[in-house]
Amino acid sequence: GDAGVFSAQALETLAALTEDGWRLPYATRVDSLVNHPHSAAAGELVTIAPLVEDAATLDAAARARLRTTALATPELARRLVSADGRYAAVAVTVLLEGDPLASTQALVDAARAVAEAASVPGLSVHVGGIVAMNHAFAESSLIDSAFLIPLMLGLVILGLQLLLAS
90-146 pLDDT per residue, tens: 999 999 999 988 999 999 999 999 999 998 888 899 999 999 999 999 889 888 888
Taking alpha carbons only, the member of 126, 40, 31, 128 closest to residue 76 is 31
- Mean pLDDT value of segment 32-38: 94
State how far the Cα of 120 lies from the Cα of 14, in Å rounded to an integer: 12
Strand partners, 91: 31
State how far the Cα of 82 lies from the Cα of 127, in Å rounded to an integer: 17
Beta-carbon neighbour count of residue 53 at 10 Å? 12
Taking alpha carbons only, the member of 87, 94, 86 closest to residue 111 is 94
pLDDT at 11 over 90: yes
Q: To the nearest whole percent, how much of the chain has pLDDT over 70? A: 98
Taking alpha carbons only, the member of 38, 34, 32, 48 closest to residue 73 is 38
The kind and range of the H/E element at 38 are strand 37-42
pLDDT at 52 over 60: yes
pLDDT at 66 over 70: yes
The kind and range of the H/E element at 20 are helix 8-21
Beta-carbon neighbour count of residue 34 at 10 Å? 27
Average pLDDT value for the chain: 92
User: According to the model, what pLDDT value does residue 44 have?
Assistant: 92
Instruction: Mean pLDDT check: name the lowest of 56-65, 116-125, 151-160.
Output: 116-125
Q: Are 133 and 140 in contact (CB under 8 A)?
A: no
